[in-house]
Amino acid sequence: MAWTTIFETIILLGATQGFIVSILLFVRKEPRLPNRLLGVLLFLMALASFCLYASFNSWFGYPLLEFLSYLIPLIIIMPFGPLIFFMSRHTWIRALH
């Protein structure tokens, strides 16, 4: 088994885990806004990982899908999580002082 296959499997499993956790966070009984925002962020990051996996395995066989995968790079979504974390942390620290 090649190393690329192992890494592709890890990406696919991470995307699957992200989809499952985002759905669980979004459909909780108590609809809190932070849970829903975190669910949406996890869904977007899982979607970016799935797009990366699909591009590794050449799933974009049609020219239109391949063009859209190059036009809308979902990998740019990756830094949103840490940015929102640090922004909210900064906001909470300012609110406490």
The domain of 9 spans: 3-96
DSSP state of 77: G
What b/e readout covers 32-57, taking b as 16+ CB neighbours within 10 angstroms?
eeeeeebbebbbbbbbbbbbbbbbee
Q: Can you state the angle between helices 3-26 and 33-56, rounded to 10 degrees?
A: 150
Residue 5 above 90 pLDDT?
no
For tokens 């296959």, what's the residue?
5
pLDDT recorded at residue 19? 93
Q: The pTM is what?
A: 0.70
pLDDT recorded at residue 53? 83
Q: Dump pLDDT digits (tens) for 50-97.
A: 888 887 787 777 888 777 777 766 666 677 777 677 767 766 666 766
Q: What integer best gives the mean pLDDT of the chain?
A: 79
pLDDT recorded at residue 45? 83
Number of domains in the chain: 1
